[in-house]
């Protein structure tokens, strides 16, 4: 569905670098862009949406040319019909929840779509509220509903859930997956969160200073093909405490806090807040029916 | 005592016409300034702000020269449009528009700049034209600044003295606005009439500003 290759000079925190990559995304695929901040993930999304212009390259979507530097084609964002979820939600403060969705409708579209989306996202009771009276999770749902109201063929999500707490985030993930399947959308998400990428994406692209350095299904990419363990979990380190010879790591896996031991040389590279993968090899778990 | 209400009427007429023109010019201009990345933008911003610091008589002096049929701009205006701006109401309107320009443009430009860029981006992605974005997303979200800018420009025009004196003079029904009339009445020791004009201007200015602060406080809630 999407075939893009582009080049653009970027000014990052560590000086200038070039965004240079090519990208193929199939119809209905859910792709994650993963990598540290300032490597060009958001710029890539903005180039796809037409909000920024690459210096060179081409973007083709479903056979239509959206951008082609050699033929000087550059479709305006208005003509690209993408759904875009912004990091700061970008809800229109002067409009109600209903107004935000209705504003997003394409010309001549049926108002019923607004009510369907309000229903689907459980926003019916909030429809007359203004955005600044909503909680973070509610704003997020409105932003997603608004992006879908414009009947996009492509959904671009720029770290949409980074400001939410874990519980709401998990619910939003389920919601998003359900809607993506329902509308058969092709989606690209920018994320820092290993768990999120695992859950949502069928393919992840690792980005580093403007280039895609590795891609594949998340489990392979994140474990880098080195481990063969039967149990793999990703989590976030909450605490590192040295014990006699070993160290104790407290890791948040999903909603569970797990305590594991590690060798001091393993711990040397780790910091509190790091995303880690816990792998257990050759291990025979007890299975208890619930 | 017989009070001539003409100067007061003329003042309000001048302020209304000026504010209406300012809105038409200043609003797009403020939007352009807020978005422009032009190299000469600081020069333009400086020119817009000049009336804030210049003595009104300086501005009035240059405008008088410009409007005078003795020089090319005045001649050109006279020939093309049949307009003689010096010592006429139209001339006052032009001068007031220039003089009150920063009072309207500054708050509105600042408000446009403070709106998150993502609002425009979101509307673009949703397929909206620049005009739709301007009228339905940007303008409604800068209402308080729009109100203060408009009112400040209006109130400032009410209180203008130096520029009016320089290029308008003191022609009854033409250029004799309230602030000039006050000066004139005091000169001729007619304190009662001066008192009426001054009192009305004071009261109206107070009420207008009060309304702005009050409305903006309500909008902030």
What pLDDT, in 10s, does the model give residues A130-180? 999 998 889 989 999 999 999 898 999 998 887 777 777 888 888 899 889
Mutate to test the interface with B, among A46, A51, A160 (most CBs of B within 10 A): A51
pLDDT at B124: 95
Query: How many domains is chain B partitioned into structurally?
Result: 1
Q: Distance (Å, rounded) from C-alpha A78 to C-alpha A83? A: 11
Q: Distance (Å, rounded) from C-alpha A202 to C-alpha A32? A: 8
Which is more confident, B170 or A149? A149
Q: Which residues of A touch B116 (CB under 8 A)?
A: 88, 90
pLDDT at A241: 86
CA distance to partner chain B, nearest, from residue A256 (Å) = 36
CB-closest option in A51, A88, A150 to B126: A150
Please provide the CATH number assigned to the domain covering A228-280.
Answer: 2.40.50.470
Whether B124 and B117 have beta carbons less than 8 Å apart is answered as no
**Looking at chain B, which residue has its C-alpha nearest residue A85?**
B122
Q: Which residues of B touch A87 (CB under 8 A)?
A: 118
Do B126 and A51 make contact, defined as CB atoms within 8 angstroms?
no
- Do A2-222 and A228-280 come out as alike in CATH topology? no
CB-closest option in B125, B129, B137 to A92: B137
Q: Distance (Å, rounded) from C-alpha A141 to C-alpha B167? A: 60
Which of A:65-84 have CB within 8 Å of B? 76-84
pLDDT at A137: 86
Q: How many CB atoms sit inside 10 A of residue A135's CB?
A: 11
pLDDT at A225: 53
Q: Which residues of B touch A104 (CB under 8 A)?
A: 126
Which is more confident, B31 or B68? B31
pLDDT at A282: 60
Do A84 and B122 make contact, defined as CB atoms within 8 angstroms?
yes
Q: Is the CB of B42 inside 8 Å of chain A's CB atoms?
A: no
Do B125 and A82 make contact, defined as CB atoms within 8 angstroms?
yes
**Domain around B83:** 6-106+143-220
* Cα distances (Å, whole numbers) of residue A231 to A218, A227, A280: 15, 10, 5
**CATH, residue B179:** 1.10.3720.10
What pLDDT, in 10s, does the model give residues A6-63? 999 988 777 888 899 999 999 999 999 998 888 889 999 999 999 999 999 999 999 8
Residue B131 in domain: no
Confidence of residue A228 (pLDDT cuts 50, 70, 90): low
Residue B114 in domain: no
Which is more confident, A200 or A268? A200
CA distance to partner chain A, nearest, from residue B105 (Å) = 22
**Looking at chain B, which residue has its C-alpha nearest residue A79?**
B127
Residue B206 in domain: yes
Regarding the domain with residue range A2-222, which homologous superfamily does it belong to in the CATH classification?
P-loop containing nucleotide triphosphate hydrolases (3.40.50.300)
What pLDDT, in 10s, does the model give residues A70-116? 999 999 999 998 999 999 999 999 999 999 999 999 888 889 999 99
List Cβ neighbours of A124 (8 Å cut-off, separation of 6 or more): A118
CA distance to partner chain A, nearest, from residue B8 (Å) = 38
Stretch among A88-102, A144-158, B170-184, B193-207 having the lowest mean pLDDT: B170-184
What pLDDT, in 10s, does the model give residues A213-225? 888 888 888 876 5
> Domain segments of chain A: what residues?
2-222, 228-280
Q: Is the CB of B117 inside 8 Å of chain A's CB atoms?
A: no
Q: Which of A195-199, A238-242, B146-150 has the highest mean pLDDT?
A: B146-150
pLDDT at B4: 84
Q: Compute the average pLDDT of residues B35-39.
A: 89
Q: Is the CB of B41 inside 8 Å of chain A's CB atoms?
A: no
Neighbouring-strand partners of residue A275: A236
| pLDDT at B192 > cutoff 80 | yes
pLDDT at B97: 94
Do B118 and A86 make contact, defined as CB atoms within 8 angstroms?
yes
Supply angle C-alpha A220, A194, A86, rounded to 5. Answer: 125
pLDDT at A107: 85
Whether B216 and B147 have beta carbons less than 8 Å apart is answered as yes
Token pair for residue B20? Answer: 């209406």
Neighbouring-strand partners of residue A237: A251
Confidence of residue A237 (pLDDT cuts 50, 70, 90): confident
Which is more confident, A257 or A254? A257
Tell me the helix, strand and coil percentages in chain A, rounded to 5: 30, 35, 35
CA distance to partner chain B, nearest, from residue A65 (Å) = 17
Which of A:148-207 have CB within 8 Å of B? 150
What pLDDT, in 10s, does the model give residues B3-28? 788 889 999 999 999 999 999 999 99
Q: How many CB atoms sit inside 10 A of residue A54's CB?
A: 23
Token pair for residue A54? Answer: 């690459």
CA distance to partner chain B, nearest, from residue A202 (Å) = 25
| pLDDT at B108 > cutoff 90 | yes
| pLDDT at A226 > cutoff 70 | no
pTM of the model: 0.79
CB-closest option in A88, A94, A103 to B126: A103
Mutate to test the interface with B, among A66, A91, A104 (most CBs of B within 10 A): A104
pLDDT at A258: 86
| pLDDT at A254 > cutoff 80 | no
Do B122 and A106 make contact, defined as CB atoms within 8 angstroms?
no
CB-closest option in A49, A81, A90 to B116: A90
Do A51 and B141 make contact, defined as CB atoms within 8 angstroms?
no
């Amino acid at each position: 569905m999407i075939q893009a290759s582009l080049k653009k000079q970027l000014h990052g925190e560590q000086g200038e670098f070039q965004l240079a990559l090519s990208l193929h995304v199939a119809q209905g695929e859910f792709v994650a862009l993963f990598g540290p901040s300032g490597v060009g993930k958001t710029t890539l999304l903005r180039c796809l949406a037409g909000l920024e212009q690459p210096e060179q390259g081409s973007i083709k979507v479903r056979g239509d040319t959206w951008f082609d530097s050699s033929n000087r084609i550059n479709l305006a964002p208005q003509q690209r019909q993408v759904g875009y979820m912004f990091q700061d939600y970008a809800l229109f403060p002067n409009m109600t929840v209903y107004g935000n969705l209705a504003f997003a409708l394409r010309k001549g579209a049926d108002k019923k779509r607004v009510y369907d989306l309000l229903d689907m996202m459980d926003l019916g009771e909030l429809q007359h509220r203004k955005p600044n009276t909503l909680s973070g999770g509610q704003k997020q749902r409105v932003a997603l509903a608004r992006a879908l109201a414009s009947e996009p063929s492509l959904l671009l999500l720029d770290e949409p859930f980074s400001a939410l707490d874990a519980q709401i985030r998990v619910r939003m993930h389920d919601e998003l997956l359900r809607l993506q399947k329902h509308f058969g959308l092709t989606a690209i998400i920018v994320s820092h969160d290993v768990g999120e990428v695992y859950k949502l994406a069928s393919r992840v692209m690792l980005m580093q200073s403007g280039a895609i350095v590795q891609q594949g299904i998340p489990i392979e990419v994140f474990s880098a093909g080195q481990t063969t363990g039967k149990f793999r979990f990703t989590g976030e380190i909450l605490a590192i405490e040295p014990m006699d010879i070993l160290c104790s790591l407290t890791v948040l896996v999903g909603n569970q806090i797990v305590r594991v031991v590690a060798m001091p040389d393993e711990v040397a590279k780790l910091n509190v807040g790091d995303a880690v993968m816990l792998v257990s090899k050759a291990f025979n778990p007890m299975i208890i029916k619930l | 005592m017989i009070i001539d209400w003409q100067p007061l009427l003329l003042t309000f007429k001048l302020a209304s016409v000026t504010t209406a023109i300012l809105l038409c010019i200043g609003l797009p201009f403020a939007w352009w300034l807020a978005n422009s990345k032009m190299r000469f933008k600081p020069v333009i911003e400086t020119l817009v702000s000049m009336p804030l610091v210049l003595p009104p008589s300086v501005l009035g002096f240059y405008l008088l020269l410009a409007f005078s049929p003795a020089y090319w701009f005045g001649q050109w205006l006279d020939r093309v449009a049949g307009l003689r701006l010096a010592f006429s109401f139209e001339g006052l309107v032009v001068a007031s528009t220039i003089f009150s320009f920063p009072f309207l443009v500054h708050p509105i430009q600042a408000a446009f700049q403070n709106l998150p860029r993502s609002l425009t981006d979101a509307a673009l992605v949703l397929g909206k034209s620049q005009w739709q974005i301007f009228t339905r997303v940007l303008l409604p979200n800068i209402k308080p600044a729009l109100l203060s800018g408009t009112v400040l420009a209006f109130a400032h025009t009410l209180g203008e003295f130096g520029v009016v004196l320089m290029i308008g003079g003191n022609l009854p029904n033409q250029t004799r606005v309230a602030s000039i009339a006050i000066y004139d009445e005091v000169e001729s020791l007619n304190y009662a009439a001066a008192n009426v004009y001054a009192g009305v201007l004071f009261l109206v200015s107070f009420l207008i500003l009060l309304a702005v602060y009050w409305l903006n406080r309500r909008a902030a809630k």
